[in-house]
Amino acid sequence: MLIGAAATQALIDGEDGRYMRALKSVLGLPLTHETRLISGRSRTIGGIITDFLTALRERSEAATGQRYRKALSGRPVHFHTADKNKDRQAEDDLRACYLGAGFDEVSFLAEPEAAALACHGLGGRTEVGLIVDIGGGTSDFSVFRSRGVKPAILGSHGIRLGGTDFDHAISIAHAMPPLGIGGQLRSAMGAALLPVPRRPYVDLATWSQIPFLYTAETRRMVAQMIRFAVEPEKVSRYGTVIEHELGHELAFAVERTKISVNASGRADAIGMGFIEAGLSQTVSPENLAATLASNRILLREAAMKTLQIADIDPNEVERVILVGGSSLMTFVSDEMSELCSSAEILRSEAFTAVIDGLAMATSR
């Protein structure tokens, strides 16, 4: 098992294997426990998460000469926003993974509350702050008031929306049309035209589902789609992705374009030459904003609800601290600036605040 940068490099180098990302998003769902054939073995995603945590513990023990039997784990405020049973099950699933990895005890701390512990009191004064923590699969918010060495958490809230959802929306809107989404199929029983099924494209645009598309069943389905497609050349590109297992290359291409357009404020193209020579789709800042407009609304609503839970007026917020790579999307800071018009927007702790806060919490 390769982890992190080593796994990504192996994928880029074309090594045989199953690349998996955003596994936390399936916690609390039946998919966590479903057995699938992965790299020649019957395995579950829960088992893979356990293997990852085992490697983390063993590497830590080897590096420090210590034995680790207790863990403090970050978690989103809600794994599943609208379903308390799934939310509870997700934490139970994650706890079982830690215990299976050799830990005797695990406790949890909401990630935006950990970030507040690391970031409160910046500037050495009492203040009201809002943590906006947007990761790969969830967006979490905490309102805090700095008081001495420890912040008082006034309210927390979270929704099941994150960077992989942004990627998904961009992929569906811009990368999938040249592969056949939105097209039509001729009926096998007459002259009627039917829409090309969306499900295969939705799965291809979903990080956690990509590894499970490379099956004989999918290949048979694609062959049927090509046979009846009004635009078979487009659906054939989808077939190329499945045949050569290019789903993650496509997902990385979408992610790179998202980052590029957001950072530069200029149009860039999703390069898909690995599917077909010269194939690309241009995404402009205006296209990107339009594609993510509904996500922007959801983030604003979630931030407002957090302030309501905390009984804090938006104008009382003095600092908004952006945490998590996806919080650096321009529309996030724009939306938070509009909501908390008197607040200073801070980005400097985006990639370290949660981990720093968890480390600080373990020492108390």
| pLDDT per residue of the chain (364 residues) written in tens, 0 to 9 | 899 999 988 887 878 888 888 888 889 999 899 998 887 889 999 999 999 999 999 999 999 999 999 999 999 999 998 899 999 999 999 999 999 999 999 999 999 999 999 987 665 566 899 999 998 889 999 999 987 678 899 999 999 999 999 999 999 999 999 999 999 999 877 778 999 999 999 999 998 889 889 999 999 999 999 999 999 999 999 999 999 999 999 999 999 999 999 999 999 999 999 999 999 999 999 999 999 999 999 999 999 999 999 999 999 999 999 999 899 999 999 999 999 999 999 987 788 999 999 999 998 7
pLDDT attached to residue 84: 92
Considering the four listed CATH numbers 2.60.40.420, 3.40.190.150, 3.30.420.40, 3.40.50.720, the one that applies to the domain covering 5-110 is: 3.30.420.40
Rounded CA separation 279/345 (Å): 39
pLDDT attached to residue 343: 94
pTM for this one? 0.89
Rounded CA separation 319/173 (Å): 34
> Which stretch of DSSP H or E encloses residue 322?
strand 319-323
Are the C-beta atoms of residues 180 and 229 closer than 8 Å to each other?
A: yes
Residue type, 185: L
**Interhelix angle 293-310/330-339, nearest 10 degrees:** 40
Q: Is the dihedral of CA 179, 184, 186, 189 positive or negative?
A: positive
pLDDT attached to residue 74: 95
The tokens describing 285, both together, are 């800042």
- Selection from 11, 1, 4 nearest residue 41 by Cα: 1
pLDDT attached to residue 355: 93
Rounded CA separation 224/358 (Å): 51
Residue type, 35: T
Sheet strands (E) in 139-208: 139-147, 150-159, 184-186, 193-195
Are the C-beta atoms of residues 146 and 127 closer than 8 Å to each other?
A: yes
pLDDT attached to residue 8: 86
pLDDT attached to residue 123: 55
**Interhelix angle 111-119/353-362, nearest 10 degrees:** 80
pLDDT attached to residue 126: 66
- Selection from 61, 154, 64, 134 nearest residue 102 by Cα: 61
pLDDT attached to residue 279: 98
